Structures are given as C-alpha cells and as structure tokens.
C-alpha cells in the first residue's frame, strides 16, 4: 500500500472513499474521471480503494471534475488518521464542518435569522456540555 507508514493506509482509504462518494454524487463514471487525470481506469480505481495515494497534482483536477472544493476530498481525514497531536487534532477534525457551516451561514441574508441560527448552535453546545 502506498502510504507514509504512519496511518496503516487509513488516510488513503478515507480519501479513496471520499473520491468515490463525490464521483457518485455528480454521476461521473470511473472511466471519465480516469481520463481527466490521464490514468487508466484501474489506476484510478486503485486511488478509490486506497491502494494508491492521490497525488497533489490530481487534487485540483478532481475537484473540478467533482465540482467541489479541494478540501472536500479530505473531509473527515483528521479523524481517519489523527496523528500524534490529539489536542490540536481535535480542533482540526471539525475544520471542514466549520468551513461548511460558515459557507451555509453566509447564504442567509437576513442578519436576524443569522443571529438566531448562531444562538441556536450556542444553546445546543451548552446542552451538550450539560449532558456530558
């Protein structure tokens, strides 16, 4: 398995699963995706199943094919391979969710409604703290 040896292939497998989910979401075939990357279908499939790591040069191409942000390819990756830094790693684990939340919040044009959403999140967090 082509990994850096620190995560037993979990990161490559996680990213591969994200590739498959994003590809299926937009209804693109493996053959079309492989062609966009200049790969054989088998070489691309190896990326989806986590046998081969996705190259940095492929990330932008894939995000274009899947009509997503490059960060979407790594959503949840910190949870798959958190590494030795668990303190800061916990905060990074939610970075993708936080970014998505802020994107969605920015779509709400009414300032009063935005404040209400923020207050609701705070109330939910307080309730979660109380039950923990």
d(CA 106, CA 109): 7
Q: Give residue for tokens 């959403």.
A: 117
Cα 101 off chain centre by: 14
pTM across the whole model: 0.56
Q: What is the percent of the chain with per-residue pLDDT over 70, rounded to a whole number?
A: 79
Q: Give residue for tokens 């990756």.
A: 77
d(CA 40, CA 28): 15
pLDDT over 70 at 5, yes or no: no
Q: What is the pLDDT of residue 89?
A: 55
């Amino acid at each position: 398995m082509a990994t850096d040896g620190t995560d037993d292939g979990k990161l490559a497998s996680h990213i591969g699963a994200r590739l498959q989910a994003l590809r299926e979401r937009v209804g693109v075939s493996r053959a079309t995706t492989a062609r966009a990357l200049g790969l054989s279908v088998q070489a691309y499939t190896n990326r989806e199943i986590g046998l081969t790591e996705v190259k940095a040069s492929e990330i932008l191409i894939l995000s274009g094919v899947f009509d997503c942000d490059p960060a979407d390819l790594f959503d949840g990756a910190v949870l798959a391979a958190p590494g030795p830094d668990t303190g800061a790693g916990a905060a990074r684990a939610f970075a993708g969710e936080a970014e998505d939340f802020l994107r969605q919040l920015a779509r709400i044009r009414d300032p009063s409604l935005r404040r209400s959403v923020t207050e609701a999140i705070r109330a939910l967090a307080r309730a979660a703290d109380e039950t923990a």
